[in-house]
Amino acid sequence: MTAETGAAMPGPRIALIHALEESVAPARAAFRAHWPEARIFDLLDTSLAVDLAEAGRLDEAMMGRFRTLADYAAGTVGASGRTAGILFTCSAFAPAIDAVKRQLPIPVLRPNESAFEAAMAVGDRIGIVVSFGPSALSLRTELLAMAAAAGRRIEVTVAVADGALAALKSGDGEGHDERVAGTVEQLRGCDVVILGQFSMARAQPRLQPLLSVPVLTTPAAAVEALRRLTQPAGVVP
């Protein structure tokens, strides 16, 4: 499904591709806060997360589905022109997103890479909280690879907020946030903590007071990065 919003003086056309419907609202909220001029539209395929959880791995068929979604998003044209960038919002599909990056000439962002860069600027002991189990290994691998490419040695702690996503899906936002906050003891000793899924950004105000280190959310970092990548040189937003 697609939906589009705009501002009086529209910026570039940006596609958001989601595998969880719970990621749509925080992504849109981040654009309202950090880049309201962008013309954003959404593509949502909730079967991706279900199929990955059942299969336990990314297979070639699923990789192909990501290429199809990205090709469609990149090929759309509206009043503000052709799509200028793509932001994927589900954290469990990094290899498929990287394949899309190599395929398309426009900026394509994984949901977590910008927050990972921000976290590595803070310290070497990085905590990640997830509520979708299959994201845990994927995010740890992604962050360690980014650190190695930058010549950094880091320690990564991944905490799974069991039951948080199910609570959110049932409409229990408070229960979701409480379960995220329940991971706090696993995060002691970290220099910085990342809420590793777009859908978890809402829990930041609940977790942050329990820790003495920064708690980063992925939507805000991703929107700021995409804005920089697509902003014409010399133009002040």
Mean pLDDT for the stretch of residues 30-41: 95
CA dihedral 179, 168, 172, 33 (to 10 degrees): 100
pLDDT band for 7, please (50, 70, 90 cuts). Answer: very low
pLDDT band for 9, please (50, 70, 90 cuts). Answer: low
Residue 20 in contact with residue 176, Cβ under 8 Å? no
For residue 232, what pLDDT is reported? 59
For residue 91, what pLDDT is reported? 79
Write 57-64 long-range contacts (CB < 8 A, 24+).
Answer: 58/93, 58/95, 58/96, 62/93, 62/96, 63/95, 63/96, 63/99
Contacts of 18 (CB under 8 A, 6+ apart): 24, 27, 42, 43, 44, 45, 89, 90, 198
Predicted TM-score (pTM) of the model is 0.82
For 177-231, the pLDDT digits (tens) are 999 999 999 999 999 999 999 999 999 999 999 999 999 999 999 999 999 998 7
For residue 236, what pLDDT is reported? 41
Instruction: Supply the DSSP symbol for 226.
Output: H
| One-letter amino acid for residue 175 of the chain | G
Q: What angle do CA 161, 94, 122 make, to 5 degrees?
A: 65
For residue 209, what pLDDT is reported? 97
CA–CA distance, 197 with 193 (Å, rounded to integer) = 12
For 60-105, the pLDDT digits (tens) are 999 999 999 999 999 998 777 899 999 999 878 988 999 999 999 9
What are 13's strand-pairing partners?
39, 83
CA proximity to 117, closest of 27, 234, 230, 228: 228
For residue 153, what pLDDT is reported? 95
Residue 15 in contact with residue 104, Cβ under 8 Å? no
For 36-66, the pLDDT digits (tens) are 999 999 999 999 989 988 998 889 999 999 9
For 109-143, the pLDDT digits (tens) are 999 999 999 999 999 999 999 998 888 988 999 99
CA–CA distance, 197 with 209 (Å, rounded to integer) = 19
- Is residue 1's pLDDT more than 80? no
